[in-house]
């Protein structure tokens, strides 16, 4: 089991797959023990219920769902934030990994 688990949520779970790959490469380059994966908004509930998640990042296209996810995560001590639109658009795995790690430490 990975030391840190980062879950990304987007509309269908597809658009974040490239970002996940870049985040995984950045994590490996830093010798971090992470599990980074993306799911659709519809599949997020099952993962929240059945996995140990350290941080949840929402893709910019589902930012309108933040309130719903705040309710789902209430009392679970899982930080939640929206991925920076510029980093998402540029598929900047380094910056999004930094964003996730910062939230875990806070």
Is residue 83 within 8 Å of 99, Cβ to Cβ? yes
Of the residues 6, 8, 9, 10, only one is catalytic, namely 10
Is 51 marked active-site?
A: no
Mind giving me the DSSP string for 30-82? TT--EEEEEEEHHHHHHHHHHS--SEEEE-GGGGGGHHHHHHHHTTS---EEE
Could you give the residue numbers annotated as active site? 10
């Amino acid at each position: 089991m990975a030391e840190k688990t980062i879950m990304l949520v987007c509309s269908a779970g597809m658009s974040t797959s490239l970002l996940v790959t870049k985040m995984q490469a950045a994590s490996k380059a830093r010798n971090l023990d992470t599990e980074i994966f993306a799911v659709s908004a519809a599949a997020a509930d099952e993962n929240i219920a059945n996995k140990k998640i350290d941080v949840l990042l929402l893709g910019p296209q589902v930012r309108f769902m933040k309130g719903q996810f705040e309710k789902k995560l209430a009392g679970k001590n899982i930080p939640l934030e929206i991925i920076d639109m510029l980093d998402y658009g540029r598929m900047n795995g380094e910056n999004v990994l930094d964003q996730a790690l910062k939230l875990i430490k806070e």
